[in-house]
Amino acid sequence: MEKTQRRVGVIGGVRIPFCRNNTAYADVGNFGMSVKVLGALVERFGLHGVELGEVVMGAVIKHSSDWNLAREALLSSGLAPTTPGITTARACGTSLDNAIIVANKIAVGQIDAGIAGGSDTTSDVPIVYGTRLRKRLLAMNRAKTPLDKLKVALRGFSFGELKPSFPGVAEPRTGKSMGDHCEQMAKEWQIGREAQDQLALDSHHKLAAAYDAGFFDDLLVPFRGLKRDGFLRPDSTLEKLATLKPAFDKASGRGTLTAGNSTGLSDGAAAVLLASDEWAAQRGLKIQAYLRDAEVAAVDFVHGEGLLMAPTIAVPRMLARNGLSLQDFDYYEIHEAFAAQVLCTLRAWESADYCKNRLRLDAPFGSIDPAKLNVHGSSLAVGHPFAATGARIIATLAKLLEQKGSGRGLISICTAGGMGVTAILERP
């Protein structure tokens, strides 16, 4: 018997304030932050002792001991210990991906409700050692006697083997950082410094206004003395941003990406609760919005495509499947990995050449109303703990749609590895 696909509701989400690495959460780690947001979600929606169908959490940078962060964190959250948990990673799109995983299971009737989220820290990072020392330690472990272990330890040893290796942000295939790749994109699409700084400034001002209006009062849980995001600079000006030096292309004199128009290394966590209409109604929980559809795409950045341009491909595919145009949205939540990345995406959709030759469209995909873009600020002002950003955006957009009463929102997130994760939220 064929099953009917069910609607998937976003009931709501919570997060802790995002902060700069090596500050408030330096000693907390992914486990502590994940427990905090899951516990806060349990508290907010009365889920103590409730068995959910799945908890899907993610972390991009994590220790090997956090092999299943989701399961371990949910066991300390107040949920029923019979709730399953799985840990994932797709760089910056991780927690949006996790929401898609949970939503798909709800839609086909495998589960009735689940939590999607993510946590990331660039403060408590795994430190590893080189191949020679690793092989030496493994050989010592295999040696039978203390004398054999000592011989293995000393044979050919050099103190250089003790030099640690820290996690890098460079793409393994190119050796270039995400910022280096985005600099190339900015030059290709002729995105100037002033436009990037203006977008960054707008993000800070919109986030500050949203805080002052109380929009985040029920979305944020104070943690470690923080009540607001540590990156927020409400007093920032274009003049201040203009004084910052290029952060990536420092030598050519043509670099436009700076610490002011790029996201900084961040710590934080976020999570959202998704459910079927029936499950929510049984518990007296209101649904803020519905996750209508999603799409993932990838680009061949190794051979010249822009590393962060995959959302330009994913969004048209998703909208075509749903009979929608780019202009059929009330809100656009485009992750601000870099101001240049957002501007490159918008320019590509306006380009007749790009839309014809890359997207195979008969006409330009079109423009969006700037007044509908990231209306309460985004990653440039909030911060960007990689695996937490998607859940933050879902919770923000769902609340925006609830406040409006009806409408539709587009989510677009670029990721490392040349991928993009996108989704549609709507409130009938």
C-alpha 273/C-alpha 415 separation (Å) is 23
CB 299 within 8 A of CB 310: yes
- Catalytically active residues are 92, 384, 414
C-alpha 69/C-alpha 56 separation (Å) is 9
Query: What would the two tokens of residue 394 be?
Result: 């879902």
CB 58 within 8 A of CB 413: no
CB 277 within 8 A of CB 6: yes
CB atoms closer than 10 angstroms to residue 174 = 13
HSE, side-chain direction, 13 A CA sphere, residue 49: 0
Q: Are strands 19-20 and 266-275 parallel, antiparallel or unpaired?
A: antiparallel
Q: What is the DSSP string of 8-22?
A: -EEEEEEEPPPEETT
According to DSSP, the residues that pair with 128 across neighbouring strands are 165
**Identity at 408, one-letter amino acid code:** R
C-alpha 47/C-alpha 17 separation (Å) is 22
